[in-house]
Amino acid sequence: MTAVCFYFQVHQPFRLRSDFDFFSIGTDRPFEDEEKNREILRKVSAKCYLPANTLMLELIRKHQGRFRVAYSISGVALEQFALYEPQVIESFRALAKTGCVEFLAETYYHSLAFLYSEEEFLRQVKMHREKMRDLIGVSPKVLRNTELVYNDRLGQLAEEMGFTAVLAEGADRILDWRSPNHVYRPLGTKNIALLLKNYRLSDDIAFRFSNREWSGWPLTSDKFANWLQSATRNDQGSVVNLFMDYETFGEHQWESTGIFAFLRHLPEEFLRHPGNRFMTPSEVAKSFPPVAELSMPGLVSWADSERDVSAWLGNHMQQAAAATVYGLEKAVVATRDAELMHAWRKLQTSDHFYYMSTKYSQDGDVHKYFSPYESPYDGFIHYANAINHLIWKCNVVRERQRLARRTARIAKQSDKAQEMPRQLVAGPSMSTSAEMRPLTLVAK
């Protein structure tokens, strides 16, 4: 038997305004570009999310439940769907009701929190699970970390959080002679499965599908079905995990390339082979026992040729930006100000750091394609302005809260004083000059 596990990432970041400059810091101007967010969300919904979801529902019904897929939708994408395109949420709900679609958990803000703060990472995964229950009506049982960033500790955390499986990249430097077409067990765990992406076959669809210079072009559904069969010919009872961005369909690969026609006919071609099945990640974890324990001591991701975290943290700009935003955790969380914490967490979204990449060659071209900025240095400057504005807002909130506490103390003391003899109340006046010192742009 050959099984195929289709998993799609659905994500859109909250983008920053291009005209939020240094002189906007400390003003009432928002640093997020609501108009651009709405414009892009509606465009991608029309080109990808709505037509692709319609096709998925059609294929599930046509094949009477034998076609099955999985999604992970970031919390920030769900927020934008609710704001600008609520029919997209309805279309995902319709898919959920079929019983043939699984929805995975991830960090709510599509962040790199796992690399900097386990506490913040756990908070964001919890927030995402709650959002999925509220909007889609499902409780995710499988974890997919942002950009498939993974190491042994993530597998252990996933098990501690009660997940039955976790996804990762099938990187060659980790697998060596082993195949990604098997289920493994994360190092140091007992009851959780590790599913690895077959990046060659996944990238044939996600990146190479429309490349006329590629030796595999044109990629037809029957050709790809045969490739899937060949990939597991020597491995009885194996699974091919095809993980990719959902925007592959209609946005990265335009409809004119034939990508929707390819997807429409692929299930029929694959299911021609007796015993072949489409499965969700949870079904894979239940059906295939781990063949071995697999250790990934170093960080692995699905990005760029290195498949590490250099796509987001490969240069000093990225490292400084990430260290700054995660360094604010204690100050921001202590305020318990919901609006401030939400703004801070949106600045953790991995896309902001991706735009600052200074890579060249093919990886650099991919970064440039996704970036809204003319250069990675522009990306850094816009982010620096936004984060400095956030620091200013954090200080404002903390000062306001400090004054509120002080006012409450004075009021309490006044109430007590009224119960005492007047002669005991008299005393020196209280100076507030030291308490009302100017705010700075450095969170304390």
30 vs 97: CA distance, rounded Å: 38
Whole-number Å distance between alpha carbons of 340 and 359: 33
What is the C-alpha separation between 442 and 324, in angstroms, rounded? Answer: 10
Letter for the amino acid at 347?
A: L
Check if the beta carbon of residue 168 is closer than 8 Å to that of residue 197: yes
Where b means 16+ CB within 10 Å and e means fewer, 233-249 reads eeeebbbbbbbbebbbb
Write out the two tokens for 185.
């067990």
| Separation CA 313–CA 319 (nearest Å) | 5
Cβ atoms 197, 171 nearer than 8 A: no
Catalytic residues: 147
Indicate if the alpha-carbon torsion angle 10, 122, 311, 343 is positive or negative. positive
Q: What does the alpha-carbon distance between residue 106 and residue 9 come to, in Å, rounded to a whole number?
A: 10
> Which among 177, 152, 163 is positioned nearest to 293, based on CA atoms?
152
Task: Please give the angle made by the CA atoms of 350, 353 and 358, to the nearest 5 degrees.
Answer: 140
3-state SS assignment for residue 54: helix
Alpha helices in 259-375 (DSSP H): 259-271, 281-287, 310-313, 316-327, 329-335, 338-346, 350-354, 361-370
Q: CA-CA distance, 292 to 4, in Å (whole number)?
A: 20
Q: How many CB atoms lie within 10 A of CB 169?
A: 26
Name the phi and psi angles at 62, rounded to 5: -60, -40
